[in-house]
Structure 1
């Protein structure tokens, strides 16, 4: 039995393990004693480490921030970086988001693609190498974080505070195939403004910086909101928009529905917050904070995803154009917060982006607070790591024309040197990460197993 056949022999075990991992709701929650990201991420980390231990690997948990699973020995280490946490599930799933149900040849569940499914697959690829008896000249180390989706405190703890050694070469299966050689810079900012006391109006939308807002709501008095409500029918004639009006104890609740997507692929989604603000602006509504916010969107955001109206529509040859996502909005007690996620090209200085954002905010009397971000990643196309992984991908898939790619997503490849994203989405897989009904087609597992077992073995020889 060759190495690929050995990996394929674990197919049913992989399916079962993915289902079990999905059943753990590992969305970040308020910290608990010895559990910095809450119960779910800690439970998911324990599940992975226990699974690795059951395979005969050495495992260690680092304060429930991160953990690693080791196999083999050598002067150098090959790293496989991934995460066990997930983004919130959102609404309107046709299958329960934390059940791991199988239907029509697909496993459904939050995290099945991002990143539990790929990491389970890589773990079984490690087992195949171990059980095959093939010799490796380097240690293989799977490094698992519990806070990738919401801040990377896991990697800061593991590599920063604890000073754990960086692997010589690494990959993370948290993007698309073939090999991601460039990742755009990430910038997350919050625009804030306090309005004078006025009519009690509530606006709420979105649930994460890095997800396109799927739902947005405006609660306003029936009298003030009539002009907006009267415009809904005309507004909905555009098939992209779905807005509904509901009466609620003397108030109107006006809701906007969009389509969720990862902030790195804003073109795959439809922003409910931007659509709601477009409705308010076009309705001719006048008065106080809501008019000011709608005018800000009309002048500085519109339905754009490239930041053009803010003067930040940068692009370059290697990584393409800047993307801008309105992740969340909140207007409560006359205090406004708009959460924005930006992915900027690898050759563009972040100061140029910040200047455009600051000017746009100041034009409307808003303060800007930097919430977080990551520097761009660039590994040359002719680097040994990129070339080796490209060769494996081409050999397994037969896709001889494939070329390394650049993305707007942010992966753990940025956490250390000499690391790239490698998979896991194949060319014919739908990218539904961060969306409702996230699913993995079971027949893709065969290709995943073949690619990852070969990649891990060849890097570790």
Structure 2
């Protein structure tokens, strides 16, 4: 058998291993002794390392921050970077998010695309190379992080504190095929304001910076909220914002239901927070605090995802438009916090983005706190790594018109030198990362196995 045939022979094992990995709820939790990101991420990391050892590779765990799986030897190293943690599951799943159920030819579960499914596939692609007997002149090292979704403490520990060497050439299967040569800059900020009077209201929405808010609610007294409630039928007449009102004791609970999506593509989702604020603004509600918050949204956010009303709708020819996502909102005990995730074009200075946000915040008496971010990534299209991976993709898929792409997502390619994102989403594959009912079509595993086996071998030979 040739290399691709050997890789395909492991398909049933790939399916089983993906299901097992999905059953581990690896959302970041409260740190525990020896488990910096909680029980789930540590358990998921252990699972991958034990699987790597079972498949005949050398493995090492670095304090449950990160781990690596090694095959072969050589003066140079080929890296495969991925993560074992996942974003929170959210609500509304038709299949349990941590069961790895199969239905209609699909594996369902949080992380099946981002990033457990692709990394399991790459691990079996490494096994195919090992079992084929083909000679490689370089070491192949899979590097696994346990904190990609919420801070990259894993990579900071592995490459920073421990000073582990950077592989010479690397890829991460955490994006879209064919090859991602550019990744927008990432900026996560929180707008804050303290009010003198909270009007006995409470607002909550969203669960992460990097996900479009799929649920939000306003709790307000019946007397204060009746204007909003009375306007709702008119508001819903020409729109489908998924907003409902219910009475609990002396209060009204106004809930807004949206559609989650990755913050790099907020236009693919539907923001429940922005929709709720649109209702409040259009209702003509009057009241110091809530009116002020709603006015900020109506003037500076609207239902936009490009930052136009903030004056930061930048774009360039290499990476496209800036995106802005309202990830979370909280108004409680007179304190307002609005968490915003921004992906800005590779040629734009982050200070220009900060200046625009800061100006809008100042107009409404808000403070701005930068919580995190990543600088843009840009590797020329004619780079050896990009060209080699492009050639493999075209040879396996026969998609000869494919060209390298730019994305708004942030992958581990930014963590080291000479690294790009390579897959795993195929051209005809739905991107439902960070959404309910995240799934992987089992039929796509064939292409994944063939592409990754060939790519790893071509880089390592």
Q: TM-score, normalised by structure 1?
A: 1.00
Query: Are 2:360 and 1:360 aligned?
Result: yes
Q: CA shift at 1:198, angstroms?
A: 3.9
- Counterpart of 1:58 in structure 2 is 58
Q: Deviations over 1:230-261 (max 9, x none)?
A: 11111112344110000001100000111100
- Counterpart of 1:430 in structure 2 is 430
CA distance in 1, matches of 2:191, 2:423: 34
- Counterpart of 1:251 in structure 2 is 251
- Counterpart of 1:141 in structure 2 is 141
- Counterpart of 1:187 in structure 2 is 187
Q: Deviations over 1:94-123 (max 9, x none)?
A: 000000000000000000000000000000
- Counterpart of 1:221 in structure 2 is 221
**Equivalent residue of 1:281, what SS?**
helix
Structure 1 unaligned spans of 5+: none
- Counterpart of 2:211 in structure 1 is 211
Map 1:104-143; keep pairs closer than 5 Å. 104-143=104-143
Q: CA shift at 1:288, angstroms?
A: 1.7
Aligned Cα root-mean-square deviation (Å)? 0.5
Q: Deviations over 1:389-427 (max 9, x none)?
A: 000000000000000000000000000000000000001
CA distance in 2, matches of 1:256, 1:179: 37
Q: CA shift at 1:300, angstroms?
A: 0.6
- Counterpart of 2:97 in structure 1 is 97
**Equivalent residue of 2:358, what SS?**
helix
Query: Are 2:329 and 1:329 aligned?
Result: yes
CA distance in 2, matches of 1:338, 1:198: 16
Map 1:16-95; keep pairs closer than 5 Å. 16-95=16-95
| Conserved 8 A contact 2:256-2:272 | yes
- Counterpart of 2:308 in structure 1 is 308
- Counterpart of 1:400 in structure 2 is 400
| Conserved 8 A contact 2:198-2:333 | no
| Conserved 8 A contact 2:179-2:390 | yes
- Counterpart of 1:389 in structure 2 is 389
CA distance in 2, matches of 1:204, 1:125: 44
- Counterpart of 1:230 in structure 2 is 230
CA distance in 2, matches of 1:418, 1:234: 55
Q: CA shift at 1:147, angstroms?
A: 0.2
Structure 2 unaligned spans of 5+: none
Q: CA shift at 1:180, angstroms?
A: 0.2
Count the aligned residue pairs. 461
Q: CA shift at 1:197, angstroms?
A: 3.0
Q: CA shift at 1:186, angstroms?
A: 0.1
| Conserved 8 A contact 2:199-2:287 | no
Q: TM-score, normalised by structure 2?
A: 1.00
Q: CA shift at 1:458, angstroms?
A: 0.2
**Equivalent residue of 2:212, what SS?**
coil
